[in-house]
Amino acid sequence: MIILIFFLAHWFLSLFFQTFFLHRYVSHKMFSTNKFNERIFYLLTFVFQGSSFLNPRAYAIMHREHHAFSDTEKDPHSPHFFKDVFQMMMYTATSYKAYESRLKEPDAQFGGHYPEWKFIDTVGSSLATRIGFGVLYVSFYVAFATHWWMFLLLPVHFLMGPIQGAIVNWCGHKYGYSNFDNNDKSKNTTPFDFLLLGELFQNNHHKRPNNANFGARWFEVDPVYPIMKFMHWIRLIKLKPATLNR
């Protein structure tokens, strides 16, 4: 039971900061906040993503490219140009690494307007840090695992951020239904979107990329949006006015 709680806590906390901070804030600027809060969110993203920490700058650039070139040959991670999800993940990782290490610079329309914290970016992306987090995960399992099969969950801990992203990009552009014609292959993968905290409402999101509520119909519940509204209410963040009208 302890292992399953740990796994689910890591899954949803890592996912929350990927969708809340990296996606909705860094990539789309759906809300504003002060510098102190921004640093707290940045740090928590590093802590909860752990060994799979995703550099916010690289994430934002690639995500903006994804929206601009959705399901075309220029899309950095469309599932329609790869034979399987693993091939797509490898291609995505290569593109990500180029932006993370600054071996490649983005087109002007995709760069800028994202927070950077050189210390966290350097530490979080280092091999030593990734291995260190991995050792912590393994140690926890050694201490609390009660069955051998539980150790099969460890690879997910090691690569949690990329795995979550791959599920969203693969399933969200292949399986499900569409509310809108976006001139791409984006889908809403209900009811599995809850397991990805609303990220699988890809069709809705591609129609309204700057709206903090990823749900569009009455049965499409984005679990992160009420949290953001509460954070807005207590003045931790400030949502865009158009979002509050929904």
Q: Where are the domains of the chain?
A: 2-176
CA distance 77 to 92: 6
Closest CA to 207 of 184, 226, 174, 230: 184
**Number of Cβ atoms within 10 Å of the Cβ of 238:** 13
Q: What is the pLDDT of residue 126?
A: 97
Torsion sign over Cα 65, 214, 231, 196: negative
Closest CA to 93 of 132, 54, 123, 57: 54
Q: What is the pLDDT of residue 191?
A: 81
CA dist 176 → 4, 86, 157, 167, 172 (Å): 28, 21, 27, 13, 8
Closest CA to 12 of 197, 154, 163: 197
Per-residue pLDDT of the chain (246 residues; tens, 9 = 90+): 999 999 999 999 999 999 999 999 999 999 999 999 999 999 999 999 999 999 999 999 999 999 999 999 999 999 999 999 999 999 999 999 999 999 999 898 998 899 999 999 999 999 999 999 999 999 999 999 999 999 999 999 999 999 999 999 999 999 999 999 999 999 999 888 889 999 999 999 999 999 999 999 999 999 999 999 999 999 999 998 866 555
Q: What is the crossing angle of helices 35-49 and 2-17, to 10°?
A: 140
| Upstream peptide bond of 191 is cis (omega within 30 degrees of 0) | yes
CA distance 27 to 34: 17
Q: What is the pLDDT of residue 190?
A: 81
Q: What is the crossing angle of helices 85-100 and 160-171, to 10°?
A: 120
Q: What is the pLDDT of residue 244?
A: 58
- Asked if residues 191 and 220 have their Cβ atoms less than 8 Å apart, the reply is no
If you count them, how many residues does the chain have?
A: 246
What's this model's pTM, rounded to 2 decimal places? 0.94
Helix/strand/coil for 42 = helix
CA distance 9 to 107: 37
Q: What is the pLDDT of residue 112?
A: 85
Torsion sign over Cα 131, 137, 140, 142: negative
**Hey, which residues does 31 pair with through a beta bridge?**
239
Helix/strand/coil for 176 = coil
Between the two ends of the chain, the Cα-to-Cα distance in Å is 39
Q: Read off the tokens for 65.
A: 């490219």
